[in-house]
């Protein structure tokens, strides 16, 4: 029976499983009885991963079928500094599971830098979970946040850019649109801090976001990287989600956050 390897972001962990990605995502989000609820975001990892940090021999002894023949759903291999020790080249598709177990897979693609500069709102997922306003585009943001010569940095990071609607061009816009962020006036103030020629690079908006991820707020996709290397997993358009992934999209819209 095939064994899979997953890098979970909620919470950060390396997990071996005998379940293929969509079955794993459904199990991870709802639990063995389907009674627990909690989103899951995870990468599929190259099963041939080589590492001196992880005890991968545990897979052979622990990721085996149960006595009744049922496939082993989860075998935890690590829960600390996992992202840091998984090479970017070992990452496969990114999967998003809703809290009732609907799973969407995202393929990696080339990120195209928009021609017009603007302010940005980022949600970090791993290794920390703050929400940050920034004047830096995603690739520059990734490079700066993972610059180990700086006093505040991380080895690797996973984050997504969030929608800002009218606030993207004007933080004082009287009608920002349907933005589901708590304390919108504070968001405006943070965006002003990173606007203009002498602005700061980044401004913390929320120290640690609690609750479910509102997938409908993802602007363009997810980023994972370190230094000059930043991988991009684009989010499908709303039209594509409605037409091709209807059940996942309806489940995602029913999620409540913040």
User: What are the tens digits of pLDDT across the range 169-182?
Assistant: 899 998 888 898 98
* pLDDT, position 256: 59
pLDDT at 90 over 80: yes
Greater confidence, 208 or 153?
153
- Number of domains present in the structure of the chain: 2
Could you tell me how many residues make up the chain? 258
3-state secondary structure of 2: coil
pTM assigned to the model: 0.94
CA torsion, ordered 238, 5, 209, 149, to nearest 10 deg: -110
* Domain-terminating residue out of 106, 136, 159: 106
Percentage of residues in the chain having pLDDT higher than 70: 97
* pLDDT, position 184: 92
Instruction: Verify that 100 and 27 share a domain, yes or no.
Output: yes
Question: Could you tell me if residue 112 is inside a domain?
Answer: no
Percentage of residues in the chain having pLDDT higher than 90: 82
* Domain-terminating residue out of 106, 140, 170: 106
Q: CB of 19 within 8 A of CB of 73? A: yes
Q: CB of 114 within 8 A of CB of 164? A: no
Query: Taking all residues of the chain, what is their mean pLDDT, rounded to a whole number?
Result: 93
Instruction: Verify that 124 and 248 share a domain, yes or no.
Output: yes
Q: What is the pLDDT of residues 34-88, one digit of tens each?
A: 556 789 999 999 999 999 999 999 999 999 999 999 999 999 999 999 999 999 9
Instruction: Verify that 145 and 236 share a domain, yes or no.
Output: yes
Lowest mean pLDDT, pick from 95-104, 171-180, 231-240: 171-180
Instruction: Verify that 131 and 220 share a domain, yes or no.
Output: yes
Nearest to 49 by CA among 75, 77, 23: 77
Q: Which domain holds residue 88?
A: 4-106
Instruction: Verify that 58 and 149 share a domain, yes or no.
Output: no
Question: Could you tell me if residue 258 is inside a domain?
Answer: no
What CA–CA distances, in Å, run from 134 to 110, 168, 169, 254? Answer: 22, 11, 13, 29
Instruction: Verify that 89 and 188 share a domain, yes or no.
Output: no
Q: If you compute the radius of gyration of the chain from its CA atoms, what whole number of angstroms results?
A: 19
What CA–CA distances, in Å, run from 143 to 119, 147, 226? Answer: 17, 6, 6
Question: Could you tell me if residue 204 is inside a domain?
Answer: yes
Instruction: Verify that 126 and 78 share a domain, yes or no.
Output: no
Instruction: Verify that 164 and 58 share a domain, yes or no.
Output: no
Q: Bridge-partner residues for 222, per DSSP?
A: 160, 233
How far is 199 from 48, CA to CA, in rounded Å? 45
pLDDT at 117 over 80: no
Q: CB of 157 within 8 A of CB of 124? A: yes
């Amino acid at each position: 029976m095939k064994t899979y390897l997953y890098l979970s972001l909620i919470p950060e962990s390396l997990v071996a499983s005998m379940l293929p990605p969509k079955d794993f995502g459904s199990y991870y989000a709802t639990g063995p009885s389907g009674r627990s609820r909690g989103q899951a975001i995870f990468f599929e990892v190259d099963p041939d991963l080589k590492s001196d940090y992880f005890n991968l021999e545990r897979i052979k002894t622990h990721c085996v079928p149960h006595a009744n023949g049922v496939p082993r759903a989860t075998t935890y291999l690590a829960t600390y500094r996992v992202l840091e020790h998984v090479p970017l080249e070992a990452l496969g598709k990114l999967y998003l599971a809703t809290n009732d177990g609907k799973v969407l897979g995202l393929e990696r693609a080339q990120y195209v830098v928009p021609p017009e500069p603007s302010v940005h709102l980022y949600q970090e997922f791993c290794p920390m979970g703050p929400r940050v306003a920034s004047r830096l585009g995603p690739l520059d943001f990734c490079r700066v946040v993972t610059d180990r010569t700086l006093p505040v940095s991380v080895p690797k990071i996973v984050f997504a850019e969030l929608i800002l609607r009218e606030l993207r061009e004007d933080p004082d816009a009287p009608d920002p649109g349907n933005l589901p962020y708590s304390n919108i006036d504070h968001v405006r103030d943070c965006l002003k801090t990173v606007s203009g020629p002498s602005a700061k690079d980044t401004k913390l908006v929320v120290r640690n976001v609690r609750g479910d991820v509102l997938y409908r707020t993802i602007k363009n996709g997810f980023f994972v990287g370190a230094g000059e290397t930043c991988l991009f997993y684009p989010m499908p358009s709303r039209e594509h989600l409605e037409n091709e992934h209807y059940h996942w999209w309806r489940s995602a819209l029913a999620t409540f956050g913040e």
